[in-house]
Amino acid sequence: MDQLYDHDQRSRVYCMSAVAIDIDPNSLLQLRHLPNPARIFFPRVDIVDHAHVTDVIDIEEVMTRLQSMDTMEIDAILLCCGLGGGSVIDIAPLIIAEIRKSYVEPIFALAILPCLEEGKRVSAKAADDLDALQGLVDAVILFDNETWSQKIKAAAAAAGTENTSVMGQLRQIPAGSDPRTHYNMLNERIARQIGLLLRAGEFNESGLDVAEVVLDAGEVLNTLKGNGFVAVATPRSDCRPDG
């Protein structure tokens, strides 16, 4: 969400408002672009079962913060959450139910699938989280961390060789770089892909269309709604831009 917000600000389209919710203060402190008033922190307490996270996060306070934003001309609401963990994903059903009471716009979930190295328990919970989300939102946009992580590693290994594919356009990272850099690369890829959808048909302050695809918001919404799962992917390297 932080990098997605940064992409929006740098494009000067300003087509999104955002808030971040967490029970981990370090996660919120690491955000570089989202302004402090948009960060909602609930002090962590000892939670034996993640199902009790609702005892920590005040849904009414979250809704008050959302309703205080400029939501007069919104097209849709996007819930960003990592699957298999805790915090936001565990309160997603309650937040979505409350949002439905106040807004008629479609609600989409950007769901991040965990990497295999995170273990079977995380993967099993991610599957349960996904089942729950599917019945609550108008569409689930999936980002597979495992697949993209392997793509980034392959791009890093190929650094210094000629690579004209879409993955070759990724900002190269040194082989064996630290996990935080790798994590930031994954977030950057999410922001690039989803940012294109958010800016479809939008214009910047100079009146120039900044979207890299010739779509408008209505077409994007109609494509997403009712389709269940939507995957974030790259075009084939042999596809022409106008193809």
Tell me the per-residue pLDDT of 22-34, one tens digit each, with 9 for 90 and over: 888 888 898 999 9
pLDDT the model gives residue 198:
80
Cβ neighbors of 208 (< 8 A, separation 6 or more) are none
Stretch 190-211: mean pLDDT? 68
Residue of 195, 162, 177 whose CA lies nearest to 6: 195
Residue 31 CA to residue 225 CA, distance in Å, equals 30
Report whether pLDDT(98) > 70: yes
Looking at residue 94, its pLDDT comes to 87
At 151 the pLDDT is: 84
115 C-beta neighbours (distance < 10 Å), count: 18
CB 187 within 8 A of CB 170: no
> Residue 167 — pLDDT band, cuts 50, 70, 90?
very low
- What percent of the chain clears pLDDT 90, i.e. is strictly above it? 21
Q: Taking the model in full, what pTM does it have?
A: 0.78
Q: What is the pLDDT of residues 50-68, one digit of tens each?
A: 556 666 778 888 888 888 8
What is the distance between the alpha carbons of residues 122 and 222, in angstroms, rounded to a whole number? Answer: 32
Q: Mean pLDDT, the chain, as a whole number?
A: 78
